[in-house]
């Protein structure tokens, strides 16, 4: 398949073939017989040295769940340029480390007037990375093509402006192919609404991924028809949506939701699931 793709590209574009990919834009790529592993452990070591954070105790988690980050107007000021540089370096690391994404995005909200408490939270991320520098993304060769999505909302942590932070990830079999972390633009009045907001966002991403898979299957012949997704499993904190799509993309879904009269019209998960 790789050889056929290489020939197709060379026929269409003027290009040359180099050796097997091992490093790309800071990403280390290890291609093995049973799969591909993508990591950034060299980059982790580099930014630890750059910001002088190679020493210190290790942290088991990237964020302290007992102490939510606040604006801290009376706290000690820290250098804005240094803080933003650190955040930028960590942002790039989320390309292969979704485990730190929530913590990094939480710290990134205080780049205008960062305080010592915010810098302490950032240093905790580095202490976590120091203890787990070799984590990365593993894409096994043999895995199903079932699309599984997870979504969750941090409603209790929305203490600043009552706008929750939502997080979602999508797996194709055992392969993590997409993940998101976003602060919502609407104010949630309950945890149910917060979960419904993230459900709508995750639903849009799932539909986009499924359409991509269908396009790949339709644009090829014979052996590539396996790219068509058969099952979609969607796990939310307050409800579980299990949708089955046939070759005609017909959905059979079971959704259990409480009253959500105050939600905006953009949140139309049930309509999408019922329409197919």
Check residue 159 and give its pLDDT: 62
In a domain, 22, yes or no: no
DSSP type of residue 99: G
In a domain, 220, yes or no: yes
Q: Minimal CA–CA distance to 272: which of 133, 149, 179?
A: 149
Whether the Cβ atoms of residue 198 and residue 152 lie closer than 8 Å to each other: yes
Kindly state the tokens that stand for 129. 């990375």
Q: Which backbone phi and psi does 18 adopt, to 5 degrees?
A: -100, -175
In a domain, 7, yes or no: no
Check residue 200 and give its pLDDT: 75
Q: Count up the domains in the chain and report the number.
A: 2
Its pTM stands at 0.71
Q: How many CA atoms lie within 13 A of 134 on its CB side?
A: 1
Which residue range is the domain that position 44 belongs to?
39-136
Last residue of a domain, one of 82, 111, 136: 136
Considering only 34-48, 75-89, 210-224, which range has the smallest mean pLDDT? 210-224
| Mean pLDDT on 65-75 | 83
* Whether residue 160 sits in one domain with residue 270: yes
Last residue of a domain, one of 89, 105, 136: 136
* Whether residue 124 sits in one domain with residue 86: yes
Q: Minimal CA–CA distance to 276: which of 222, 224, 232?
A: 232
State pLDDT tens for residues 195-226.
777 777 777 888 888 888 777 764 434 333 44
Check residue 218 and give its pLDDT: 46
* Whether residue 103 sits in one domain with residue 151: no
In a domain, 162, yes or no: yes
For residue 232, pLDDT over 90 is answered with no
* Whether residue 197 sits in one domain with residue 102: no
Check residue 161 and give its pLDDT: 67
* Whether residue 238 sits in one domain with residue 160: yes
Check residue 39 and give its pLDDT: 93
* Whether residue 117 sits in one domain with residue 54: yes
* Whether residue 102 sits in one domain with residue 78: yes
For residue 236, pLDDT over 60 is answered with no
Last residue of a domain, one of 136, 159, 177: 136
Whether the Cβ atoms of residue 181 and residue 165 lie closer than 8 Å to each other: yes
């Amino acid at each position: 398949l790789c050889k056929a793709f290489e020939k197709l590209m060379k026929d269409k574009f003027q290009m040359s073939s180099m050796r097997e990919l091992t490093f790309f834009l800071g990403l280390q790529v290890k291609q093995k017989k049973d799969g591909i592993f993508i990591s950034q452990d060299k980059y982790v070591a580099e930014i630890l040295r750059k910001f002088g954070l190679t020493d210190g105790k290790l942290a088991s988690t990237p964020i302290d769940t007992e102490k939510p980050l606040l604006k801290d107007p009376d706290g000690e000021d820290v250098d804005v340029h240094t803080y933003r540089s650190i955040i930028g370096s960590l942002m790039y690391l989320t390309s292969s480390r979704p485990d730190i994404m929530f913590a990094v995005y939480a710290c990134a909200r205080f780049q205008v007037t960062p305080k010592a408490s915010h810098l302490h939270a950032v240093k905790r991320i580095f202490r976590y990375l120091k203890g787990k520098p070799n984590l990365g993304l593993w894409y096994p060769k043999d895995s199903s093509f079932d699309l599984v999505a997870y979504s969750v909302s941090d409603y209790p942590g929305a203490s600043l402006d009552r706008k929750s932070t939502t997080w979602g990830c999508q797996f194709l079999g055992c392969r993590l192919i997409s993940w998101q972390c976003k602060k919502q633009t609407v104010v949630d009045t309950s945890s149910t609404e917060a979960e419904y907001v993230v459900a709508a966002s995750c639903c849009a991403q799932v539909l986009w991924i499924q359409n991509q898979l269908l396009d790949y299957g339709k644009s090829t012949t014979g052996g590539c028809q396996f790219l068509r997704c058969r099952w979609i499993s969607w796990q939310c904190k307050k409800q579980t949506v299990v949708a089955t799509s046939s070759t005609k993309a017909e959905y059979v879904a079971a959704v259990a939701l409480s009253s959500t009269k105050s939600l905006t019209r953009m949140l139309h998960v049930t309509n999408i699931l019922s329409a197919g």
